[in-house]
């Protein structure tokens, strides 16, 4: 049976591929897409979610906008990584997929109440919406199967030497989530840096012969340019789909039990996830930390999802069968 999930995201290039993986893979049932300020402003991340749904032919999945700023600190976007639009690279048509009037937090709350079984939340962005849900509707914790998030790191950060972007953008929200008691799996940079979109991977998307495959290749090409400029990466890590992959097939992402706390006060370390992998702090286990990715089957599932979606949206694009 497909696992029911809600994807909370800030598209963002890697969020875009996470949306496609969540919509195109049969192992998950994407109930809703919610957006939050992060990589770009809420207005832009929401428009980008609608754009991705439009070009990927994702219909019947409600898109709801959430919080437009972090709980405490001002918003600081990642236009250096994702561009002014938040999804620079390809050109997108005017979106035909709309946005529902409901606030993201209220939509999640309603779906948790209505769905016949507990739902997995997959945040791939700052945790503002999720923290607000748990604060406004604490009883919802019992309706959440688990939270499988992209964020944090067992090692270094990327927004600062100590802190990863999603956590550093809203540390207070992350602190609420990790303290909530809800089962949390943290897919941090230490594991997402194993999902490198190499030229061979990009060629697989181009080789699909669909406009969606070409759009993915263009997204990855832009993402590669900023990762090369900012951090000298030969190929960009595709962070967010790793969290979705963990739900699709837990065997793809090996995890260990850990204690994770979020540093809120460190002058140089605010937003760092402090991950105790060996019980040396005496603090109780409150999360699973993802440690390794089986990259080849991960890319197979990612490319297959785009193939499925692309075939639906642009059958005319399909290469004629070999004669």
176-215: contacts with ligand RIB (CB under 6 A): none
94 burial via Cβ count (<10 Å: 0-12, 13-18, 19+): exposed
Judged by CB under 5 A, the residue of 8, 15, 140, 146 near Ca ion is 15
List of residues 6+ apart from 84 with CB closer than 8 A: none
Judged by CB under 5 A, the residue of 45, 46, 54, 124 near Ca ion is 124
* Total residues found in the chain within this entry: 323
> Which stretch in 50-58, 68-76, 219-227, 234-242 sits in contact with Ca ion by CB under 5 A?
234-242
Binding partner of 164, given ligand RIB, Ca ion, none, CB within 5-8 angstroms per partner class: ligand RIB
How many positions of this chain bind Ca ion (CB under 5 A)? 6
Q: Which is nearer to ligand RIB, 31 or 125 (CB)?
A: 125
302-321: contacts with Ca ion (CB under 5 A): none
By C-alpha distance, which of 276, 270, 314 is closest to 93? 314
Cα–Cα separations (whole angstroms), residue 23 to 48, 59, 229:
16, 10, 31
Residue 8 binds ligand RIB, judged by CB under 6 A: no
| Cα gap 63→126, rounded to integer Å | 17
Judged by CB under 6 A, the residue of 63, 165, 244, 301 near ligand RIB is 165
Residue 175 binds ligand RIB, judged by CB under 6 A: no
Residue 164 binds ligand RIB, judged by CB under 6 A: yes
Catalytic residue among 13, 239, 278, 314: 239
* 34, β-bridge pairs: 8, 64
In the chain, DSSP finds a helix count (H) and a strand count (E) of 12, 9
Shortest spacing between CB 124 and ligand RIB, in angstroms: 5
Residue 170 binds Ca ion, judged by CB under 5 A: no
Cα–Cα separations (whole angstroms), residue 157 to 70, 181, 273:
19, 25, 9
Shortest spacing between CB 173 and ligand RIB, in angstroms: 13
82 catalytically annotated: no
**31 touches 147 (CB < 8 A):** no
Q: Which is nearer to ligand RIB, 239 or 288 (CB)?
A: 239
229-268: contacts with ligand RIB (CB under 6 A): 239-240
By C-alpha distance, which of 80, 170, 175, 180 is closest to 125? 170
Residue 40 binds ligand RIB, judged by CB under 6 A: no
Reported as type and span, the H/E element at residue 302 is: helix 295-313
Find the radius of gyration of the CA atoms of the chain: 18
Catalytic residues: 239
Question: Interface residues with Ca ion (CB under 5 A)?
Answer: 10, 12, 15, 124-125, 240
Q: Which residues of this protein are in contact with ligand RIB, per CB under 6 A?
A: 10, 12, 14-15, 38-39, 124-125, 150, 158, 164-166, 239-240
């Amino acid at each position: 049976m497909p696992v029911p999930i809600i994807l909370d995201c800030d598209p963002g290039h890697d969020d875009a591929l996470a949306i496609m993986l969540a919509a195109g893979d049969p192992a998950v049932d994407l109930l809703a897409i919610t957006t939050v300020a992060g990589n770009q402003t809420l207005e832009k991340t929401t428009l980008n979610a609608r754009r991705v749904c439009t070009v990927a032919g994702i219909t019947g999945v409600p898109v709801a906008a959430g919080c437009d700023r972090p709980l405490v600190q001002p918003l600081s976007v990642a236009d250096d990584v994702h561009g002014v639009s938040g999804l620079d690279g390809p050109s997108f048509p005017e979106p035909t997929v709309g946005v529902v009037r409901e606030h993201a937090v209220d939509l999640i709350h309603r779906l948790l109440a209505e769905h016949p079984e507990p739902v997995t939340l997959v945040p791939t962005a700052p945790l503002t919406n999720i923290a607000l849900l748990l604060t406004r509707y604490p009883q919802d914790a019992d309706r959440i199967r688990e939270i499988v998030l992209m964020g944090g790191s067992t090692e270094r950060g990327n927004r600062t030497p100590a802190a990863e972007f999603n956590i550093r953008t809203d540390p207070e929200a992350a602190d609420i989530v990790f303290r909530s008691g809800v089962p949390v799996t943290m897919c941090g940079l230490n594991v997402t840096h194993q999902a490198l979109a190499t030229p061979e991977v990009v060629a697989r998307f181009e080789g699909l012969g669909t406009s969606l495959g070409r759009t993915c290749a263009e997204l990855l090409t832009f993402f590669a340019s900023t990762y090369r400029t900012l951090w000298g990466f030969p190929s960009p890590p595709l962070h967010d789909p790793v969290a979705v992959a963990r739900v699709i097939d837990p065997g793809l992402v090996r995890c260990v039990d850990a204690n994770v706390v979020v540093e809120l006060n460190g002058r140089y370390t605010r937003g760092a996830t402090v991950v105790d992998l060996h019980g040396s702090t005496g603090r109780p286990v409150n999360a699973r930390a993802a440690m390794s990715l089986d990259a080849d089957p991960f890319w197979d599932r990612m490319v297959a999802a785009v193939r499925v979606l692309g075939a639906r949206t642009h059958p005319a694009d399909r290469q004629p069968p070999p004669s």
